[in-house]
Every structure is written in C-alpha cells, then in structure tokens.
Structure 1
Amino acid sequence: MSGVLAPLAARYASWLGLPAERTAEPEAAPDQVRAMPVVLRMERAEPPTRTALLEAAATAALAVCLDERAEQGGEWHEPVHAWLEGHIRKVARRARGAHWHAVQNLPGITVTVGGAQVRALLPDRVAELPKEVTRLQISGSDLPDDEPGAVPAGMPLLLLNPEVTMTVGKAAAQVGHGSMLLAALLAERELARWKDDGYRCAVRTAKSEEWAALQPRDPAATWQERKVLAVRDAGYTEIAPGTVTVLAQWRDES
C-alpha cells in the first residue's frame, strides 16, 4: 500500500469488523477540523454532466494524496499527513468564471473528465481556508442524472447507494473517499497500474439488486475475495451517520 495512505488503510482495517453505528469518529475541536476543498466547475451556460463531474472529483482527491509532493520530505507532506491522521473530510464547493480561475492559483490538482473539471486542493484547517474557497457555495446547485454507458474494462468502479439521495457536492465528497480508501488497500503493483491510467475511475449509481449483492456482510472477506469495500458516512451533513454511501470495487483488466 502507499506509505502516504497508510494511516487511512490502518484505520479502515480497524473498522472492518465494526457495526455501522460504531464507526463514527470523535468530533474534533472546531478550530482543529481539517478538510480537503474540492472545487467543482459548474458554468451556468455549459454545465457538466453529473457522472463526469463525480469521476473527476474522485480522481482529483486521490491525485493530491499520491502526488510526489505529498511524499515524505515533499512540500505537501505535512498538511496531507495531518489530514489523513484524522477524519478525511472534504468541503465541496462550486465555482464558475473568475472564481474558478482564482482557485487555480491555490495548491492542488485539476482533473478533467469528459469536459467536466474539478480541482482538489491541499487540505487545511477549515477555519483557515483561503477566501477564494470560503466565498464559494454549493447549496442550490445540482445536476440531473445522466446515462454514462458501460464501465470500461478494468476501470475501478465507485457505486453510489441507490437508496440515498445526495447533492452533487455530497456525492463528490463520497466518491473521493471511495477512491482514497481503494488506493489505501491496494498492493503496490495494483496501485502502479492505476497510476499509469491517471487514477481514472468510473462512477455509477448501483441498481438495487447489484447493491444488495455487493454489500460487505463480512467486510474483511469481501475485500480479500471480491476487492469491494464500503464507504460509511460520518453523518455530519445530509445523511444519517453510518450510512453506506459508496461501494468501491477494484476490477481486473480481464
């Protein structure tokens, strides 16, 4: 597994055998809460498709964590490591026009998928986020469902819970959690393959029967046998704590 993501992998391993109601983490003091800003480009005249935007969000969040600057000794290591040591919160915001261009000057990585653009920024204490981020909003913005088509062979898959309604900002944060957890549990050979593909992944809303079949009844065995893991929400916004929002699946190329 990646050394940068080792704290996340260790924490997930400790969650595997716990019931959902026991996976909530202690609340940090407000001035100590850290989050990764995830900025979604949503131009009024040409809005992106929902699926492409979520796929870009999942890739961008992971790309920041696994950038060489986040490795030991790199200029991003300290803020990324401090964030991963705690709860991996994300702050999703929308931006357009001059506000979108302004966040390009902040440390982070912009990913484009199918014309949709997302910039994941270096994590920081929420109380200390730059004004270019705090002036952005997400409320009142959403995108309609679309028909993304078949999942490319061998591409990691992030399945959204079909029974849970999430705004595009909430869903963007959840698929970002999913891509990070998946990378944290992969072997180095698998992670290298994903890196070669630019950490691309597919996001789909699961069908009810598909969701039921993939649910990790025994999380550790499900990961070992089927390479599927669950993202459980902490319950700070929109949905109840312990809700499984995303199932992430590593898929072989064959």
Structure 2
Amino acid sequence: MVLPLSVLDPLLSRYAQWLALPGEATADTSDEDPDDVVLMPMVLRIERREPPARTALLEAAAAAALAVCLDERCAPEGEWHEAMHGWISGRIRKVTRRARGAHWEAVQALPGITVEVDGAEVRALLPMRVADMPKELSRLQISGSELEPDEPGPIRSGVPVLWLNPDVPMSAGKSAAQVGHATMILAAQLHGEGLDADLERWAADGYPCAVRQASPETWADLHPGDDPETAWRKSRVAMVRDAGFTEVDPGTVTVLARWPV
C-alpha cells in the first residue's frame, strides 16, 4: 500500500500554529460566508431498533476520518486530491449527521469511506462546501446522535488510545468529530517524525484504535500542559483542542491521543 502522505503536510504546520495560540483563542469567522464553509461530513449509522454501541461507533469514526484522508485517490494525481488538499490546507472542520435505513444506504453512493467496528458503521465523506451538499446528505439530522455510555472491553495491545476529556460531556456526534481529528493529528505527527513505516502498518490493519473515557488521574498524567512538543517526543501524546464552534468552549482539549510506545 502506497499512502498519499504528502496530503498531511499542511496539517503539520497548522497543528504547530494552533498549539501556539492562547488556550481560549478561536478563529475569527465573522467575514465567512456560511455557504462557503468546507467541511468533512461524517455519517453515523444509528438504527432506531438496534443502535450501535457508543464506543464502537467512535472507534469506527476515528478510523474512517483518517482512511478517507489517506485513500489512494487523494494522491496528487488522484480524483480526490484537490478537494482533500484544499480542506486540509484550510480550517479542519467536520460535521456529523445520523442516518438509518434507506437514508444510510443512499449516502454509500457519495465519495467517501465506510468503516465498521463491532457492528457499528460510520462513513466519512470527501470534504465539500456546505452549499454543495447533495440532498442525500443535507436531509440528514445533525442532532439526536446521543448514545448511552457502554462498558468497552480491554484495550487491544499495540493500538493508539484516544482518551476523551472526563470533565467535558460531549454528544456522540461531537465526540466522533473529535476522535476523527485525533487520528489525523497522530498520522501527521508520525509522518513528520519520519515514522512512515509505522503509519503504513497502521493503515494495513485498517487504522484500529481504542476510544476510552479518561479518568481524572489518567487525564492529568497524560496532559501535555504547556509543553506539547516534549509530550509528543517522549510519550507520543498529541492533543485535540477545539475551536469552540459547538458544544464546548474555545480552546477546550477534548481528546488526548497516545500512540503506543
């Protein structure tokens, strides 16, 4: 498998700039036309009678977001390159919508990648302008994606763990977007360190990861504080800090992502 790793290059510099901002800072979007916002839609399959387990759904979302970024069609000569490169070079935004039945089947025809984990399915789509969303996507609801907390099993050895902030309640939809950010940041960091072989092995396995709610003790132990560079270099910990557009305050660290060491 030859991954289009160059697509991650803009994310490396943006991540460094983002971490250097004050904790409460967020982007100024006052002059932004809402129709021109480019985002990655993520569709969560949540059937009415048999909803998926929350943890499995988040793990599928984390894998799907990265899988679509590193699909071979995102290579410089690929049909998806322009859309993916433009999105990663700008503001990294995602939106999650829920679907069931025929509506879920309909979005399978849209450009993207579907990942299944323990029966839970998520489709991450090629980034697009809000104004360009097809009806198969725009008709899906954003709200109503909440799922009951579950009790996941032991963490599989050798996979990255995405720890959710224990002090910040988030809906399943919001959490799905955040863990999707986390896998992208992990991949960019690995590429930046020249650890492409590790990234290729992860890709060959389908980008498996574990999503867990951190205990206050685990969160405090892993949190990079004001030295994220050292946290990555020594402990392979990266963090997702939210811009604060929905559900959480600007600058909130939502996920701590740890690559296995």
TM-score interval for Structure 1 and Structure 2 normalised by the shorter chain? over 0.9
Q: Which sections of structure 2, spanning at least 5 residues, go unmatched? A: none
| Cα distance per residue 1:157-190 (max 9 Å; x no partner) | 1110010111110000000000101101102122
SS at match of 2:166: coil
Q: Is the 8 A contact 1:16 1:220 kept in 2?
A: no
**Cross-structure match for 1:239:** 248
SS at match of 1:165: coil
Alignment of 1:45-56 (within 5 A): 45-56=49-60
**Cross-structure match for 1:110:** 114
**Cross-structure match for 2:224:** 216
Please give the alpha-carbon distance, in whole angstroms, between the structure 1 residues aligned to 2:170 and 2:50: 22
SS at match of 2:137: helix
SS at match of 1:64: helix
Q: 2:257 aligns with which of 245, 248, 254?
A: 248
Q: 1:11 aligns with which of 14, 37, 54?
A: 14
**Cross-structure match for 2:199:** 191
| Cα distance per residue 1:119-145 (max 9 Å; x no partner) | 011100112111111100131331111
Q: 1:205 aligns with which of 181, 200, 213?
A: 213
Please give the alpha-carbon distance, in whole angstroms, between the structure 1 residues aligned to 2:19 and 2:243: 15
Please give the alpha-carbon distance, in whole angstroms, between the structure 2 residues aligned to 1:232 and 1:225: 20
Please give the alpha-carbon distance, in whole angstroms, between the structure 1 residues aligned to 2:178 and 2:162: 10
* Deviation larger for 27-36 or 217-226: 27-36
Please give the alpha-carbon distance, in whole angstroms, between the structure 1 residues aligned to 2:105 and 2:124: 13
Q: Which sections of structure 1, spanning at least 5 residues, go unmatched? A: none
Normalised by the length of structure 2, the TM-score is: 0.93
**Cross-structure match for 2:27:** 25
The answer as to 2:95 corresponding to 1:91 is yes
Identical columns (%): 63
Please give the alpha-carbon distance, in whole angstroms, between the structure 2 residues aligned to 1:96 and 1:156: 29
SS at match of 2:5: coil
Deviation at 1:201, TM superposition (A): 0.8
Please give the alpha-carbon distance, in whole angstroms, between the structure 2 residues aligned to 1:56 and 1:141: 15
Alignment of 1:34-183 (within 5 A): 34-183=38-187
Please give the alpha-carbon distance, in whole angstroms, between the structure 2 residues aligned to 1:73 and 1:184: 20
Please give the alpha-carbon distance, in whole angstroms, between the structure 2 residues aligned to 1:176 and 1:250: 15
Deviation at 1:26, TM superposition (A): 3.2
Please give the alpha-carbon distance, in whole angstroms, between the structure 2 residues aligned to 1:120 and 1:248: 20
| Cα distance per residue 1:18-68 (max 9 Å; x no partner) | 33123x233243232101110000011111000000000000010000000
Normalised by the length of structure 1, the TM-score is: 0.96
Please give the alpha-carbon distance, in whole angstroms, between the structure 1 residues aligned to 2:260 and 2:102: 39
Count of aligned residue pairs for this structure pair:
251
Please give the alpha-carbon distance, in whole angstroms, between the structure 1 residues aligned to 2:90 and 2:156: 34
Please give the alpha-carbon distance, in whole angstroms, between the structure 1 residues aligned to 2:6 and 2:182: 18
SS at match of 2:7: coil
| Cα distance per residue 1:80-114 (max 9 Å; x no partner) | 01110111111100000000000001010100000
The answer as to 2:10 corresponding to 1:2 is no
Q: Is the 8 A contact 1:214 1:228 kept in 2?
A: yes
SS at match of 2:219: helix
